Copies of this chain bind each other. A is one copy, B any other.
Amino acid sequence: MNVQPRTLSGFMELLPGDQILMERFMETLRETYSLYGFTPLDTPVIEASEVLLAKGGGETEKQIYRFTKGDSDLSLRFDLTVPLAKYVALHYGELSFPFRRYQIGKVYRGERAQRGRFREFYQADIDIIGDGKLDIVNEAEIPAIIYQTFSRLGLERFQIRVNNRKILNGFYDMLGLREQSGEIMRTVDKLEKIGGDKVRELLMEAGVSEEKAGEILRFIGIRGENSQVLKALESYRGKDELFDQGLEELGTVVKYLGAFGVPEENFAVDLTIARGLDYYTGTVYETMMTDHPEIGSICSGGRYDNLAEYYTNKQLPGVGISIGLTRLFYVLQEQKMLNEEAGTAPADVLLLPMTEELGPAIELGTRLRGEGIRVQLYTEPKKFKAKMNYADKLGVPFVVFLGEDEIQEEVVSCKDMVSGEQTKLDFSSTVTRVKERLAANRRQRVIR
């Protein structure tokens, strides 16, 4: 030994049980996204800096892992949107539009290390890219997919919040504050954290008149059921074209969200949501865990008009949303919301041969695997107690013994590690018994 082993801070490295839950988490995402016709994509972690940073500047650039190798100026991707833009521009002629893709991959940001902040983390993105145009229905389908995804994961108490940037921009147009709308929205975004009075104060410091600050607070104060909010917004109609267009879109999205089967309690029109400033142009989303607002949005996105303007002159509008997977998993761990009953063992059966000759045990393992049962063959020459301890530590639900007697009688001894019950049944009855338990585990969701 000459080096102390360690993992860099800000890099998640899970123990086996948690990793199995994480895999199931990702599997659920892949399955759900696939059900809606999204195709999987995988792009390099490393890109030419010139390509990755085409947009240039900004807060992100400082955080980027950038280095040279030979003559090449390289960077690690910091999100999955820029690589998507590159991909779509590069392979434009070989893709069919609307192009729906999901990507689950690691991204890198050299943020200041702190608890719950990661420098390497998974993002899970879905996007729908149109060629020139993209129908508004997609803007309702995206949050509906997120609803499905979280439901399948087992999360119940969450709310997808929806707004439309055109409504906001239109509203600030009406007040003659469009120029300052960026700054105003940044301030308004803090409403939940700092409260209305403080927001008013900051707005006035920024040069907004008291009257207009009041108008803004009244506007973002519109609350209630979705139909009530939409009704309240109707009173602003007819004053600004952009606003009217946004209101139309929002109404359509809300209507179809219902059609897509998203219950009212899981989505809400929220006029305080703006998201980033220069990217989103229409519908925007955030997703809050109802019992943990302090965590912030666990899934965000929106509609944009021009995905790949740095790489192509084609107009490629789209809508997308992203789950910060690593952070969400970390939060669920912290909140003890991961459901270990969904299964954390690496095998369903630990198979212990009780004879010198291993042939029959090996054959039994092969037959069990043929039934889709995960079997670990254990042949280390240890004492019986050590073997059972091992089974316990792995958390396998069943231990199967195969000795001379069992081989003679053509039966299998199978111990249920939870109930302690041990049976001596023929092969197919044993399979049935094991599979019943597995089906029960399978019904468990990852999140409790």
Give the number of copies in the complex.
2
What's the Cα separation between A312 and B6 when bound, in Å? 12
Cβ B363 vs Cβ A16 within 8 A: no
Cβ B359 vs Cβ A259 within 8 A: yes
Which one, A129-137, A171-179, A274-282, A422-430, is touching chain B? A129-137
With a cutoff of 8 Å between Cβ atoms, the chain B residues found around residue A35 in the complex are 369, 372-375
Cβ A96 vs Cβ B36 within 8 A: no
Cβ A346 vs Cβ B120 within 8 A: no
Number of interface residues, chain A, beta carbon within 8 A: 100
The chain B residue with its CB closest to the CB of A13 is B43
Task: Give A395 Cβ to nearest chain B Cβ, in Å.
Answer: 9
List CB contacts (< 8 Å) of A63-103 with chain B.
65, 67-70, 72, 74, 85-87, 89-91, 94-96, 98, 100-101
Specify which of B23, B90, B366, B372 is in contact with A7 (CB 8 Å cutoff).
B90
What's the Cα separation between A72 and B155 when bound, in Å? 38
Cβ B394 vs Cβ A358 within 8 A: no
Q: Does A330 contact B (CB under 8 A)?
A: no
The chain B residue with its CB closest to the CB of A373 is B35
What's the Cα separation between A259 and B403 when bound, in Å? 17
Cβ B6 vs Cβ A376 within 8 A: no
Q: Does A260 contact B (CB under 8 A)?
A: yes
With a cutoff of 8 Å between Cβ atoms, the chain B residues found around residue A363 in the complex are 259, 261
Closest 9 CB pairs of A and B: A37-B376, A67-B67, A39-B346, A37-B347, A5-B311, A3-B54, A11-B44, A5-B90, A5-B89
- Name A residues whose Cβ lies closer than 8 Å to a Cβ of B: 1-8, 11-16, 19-20, 22-23, 30, 34-48, 50-51, 54, 65, 67-70, 72, 74, 85-87, 89-91, 94-96, 98, 100-101, 106, 108, 110, 119-120, 130, 133-135, 137-138, 141, 256, 259-261, 308-313, 346-347, 350, 358-359, 362-363, 366, 369, 372-381, 390, 393-394
Q: Can you list 16 A-B pairs with a CB-CB distance of less than 8 A? A: A3-B311, A6-B90, A7-B43, A12-B44, A16-B40, A16-B41, A20-B39, A22-B42, A37-B375, A46-B108, A65-B69, A69-B110, A96-B394, A98-B380, A100-B346, A137-B358
